[in-house]
């Protein structure tokens, strides 16, 4: 069980994909679920993932904070400015 929880924390989108597969399976067995109901179920699952923080934990590990980014000295950094222009610089 712990392995499943760790996998969900690393890849929360797996839960959404499993729910989608279950919905498709139900429809193939004749259960009447319209697209709006499917979207509602998927939205609910996404909300549950967000409430329990699983997605947030996984995503925060993959991003650099933009308020005070820290990268190793000498790293080439690409910067996109508000006007749409891009520049590159070397971190000091």
**Residue 82 maps to a domain:** no
What residue numbers bound the domain in which 53 lies? 2-67
- Global pTM value: 0.48
**Residue 90 maps to a domain:** no
Residue 42: partners with Cβ closer than 8 Å, 6 or more residues away: 16, 19, 20, 23
**Residue 24 maps to a domain:** yes
**Residue 52 maps to a domain:** yes
pLDDT class of 61 with cuts at 50, 70, 90: low
pLDDT at 79 over 70: yes
**Residue 79 maps to a domain:** no
As given in the structure block, the two tokens for residue 67 are 């308020």
pLDDT class of 59 with cuts at 50, 70, 90: low
Greatest distance between any 2 Cα atoms in the chain: 62
pLDDT in tens, 6-55: 777 777 778 888 888 998 899 899 999 888 898 898 888 888 877 776 65
> How far is residue 76's CA from residue 70's CA, in Å, rounded to a whole number?
12
Structural domain total, the chain: 1
């Amino acid at each position: 069980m712990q392995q499943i929880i760790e996998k969900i924390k690393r890849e929360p989108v797996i839960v959404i994909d499993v729910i989608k597969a279950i919905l498709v399976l139900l429809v193939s067995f004749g259960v009447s679920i319209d697209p709006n109901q499917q979207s509602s179920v998927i939205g609910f699952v996404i909300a549950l993932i967000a409430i329990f923080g699983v997605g947030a934990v996984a995503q925060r590990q993959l991003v650099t904070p933009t308020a005070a980014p820290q990268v190793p000295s000498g790293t080439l950094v690409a910067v996109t400015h508000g006007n749409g222009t891009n520049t590159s610089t070397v971190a000091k």
